[in-house]
Amino acid sequence: MGGISGALFNGSKIQLQNCYNTGNVNGGLAIGGIVGLNQGEFTNCYNTGDVNASRQLAGGVVGNNQGICSNCYNIGNISGTAKIGGVSGSLSGNEPAILNNCYSLEGKSSDIVGDIVNGTVESSSIKTEQEIKSLAPILGSAFKDDYGEESINDGYPILSWQ
């Protein structure tokens, strides 16, 4: 279960991009702020809602990543019984999963990924509040800074279309 999609399956030719979730996501297994199970590809997403897996595989962005996840961040709380990550609960699958340029707010989880079975973590880490608020240029052109009187995300980066 995810805040945007429960699952992105391999071969579905669906690319999820430029989205965000602000709602809380609760479920049993493979729970993510954006996607529960990813076997495809998604990019340029962020989550501010809380994620709770009553079992395991809880991630601020993706519960179980078996595909590619890039240019994402999480500032929501994450809880579960095992395999809990600030961005992904697990990297697994037949092909190596990739987590690239993804970040989580410190204090949400001790690790960026809860369990790495088959995959790589590239340019991804846990960051302080100030570091996350300064990420827009690092996340790429799909994001912009959120500041000033018209702030809609407490100063954290937002998508360019917002």
Asked, for residue 140, whether it belongs to a domain, the answer is no
Give the three-state DSSP class for 85.
Answer: strand
Q: How many domains does the chain have?
A: 1
Question: What CA–CA distance (Å, rounded) separates 14 from 11?
Answer: 8
Asked, for residue 157, whether it belongs to a domain, the answer is no
In terms of DSSP bridges, do strands 143-144 and 158-159 run parallel, antiparallel, or are they unpaired?
antiparallel
Question: What CA–CA distance (Å, rounded) separates 155 from 3?
Answer: 21
| Per-residue pLDDT reduced to its tens digit, 108-126 | 999 999 999 999 999 999 9
Q: What is the mean pLDDT of the chain?
A: 96
C-beta separation of 86 from 114 below 8 A: no
pLDDT at 15: 83
Asked, for residue 39, whether it belongs to a domain, the answer is yes
Give the three-state DSSP class for 137.
Answer: helix
Question: What CA–CA distance (Å, rounded) separates 50 from 75?
Answer: 8
**CATH number, domain at 65?**
2.160.20.110
pLDDT at 11: 67
Question: What CA–CA distance (Å, rounded) separates 157 from 29?
Answer: 29
Asked, for residue 114, whether it belongs to a domain, the answer is yes
Asked, for residue 152, whether it belongs to a domain, the answer is no
Range of the domain at 46: 5-129
pLDDT-above-90 percentage for the chain: 93
| Per-residue pLDDT reduced to its tens digit, 3-62 | 999 999 876 667 899 999 999 999 999 999 999 999 999 999 999 999 999 999 999 999
Asked, for residue 153, whether it belongs to a domain, the answer is no
Q: Which residue type sits at 32?
A: G
C-beta separation of 62 from 2 below 8 A: yes
Cross-strand pairs, 32: 2, 59
Q: Supply 54's token pair.
A: 């009553």
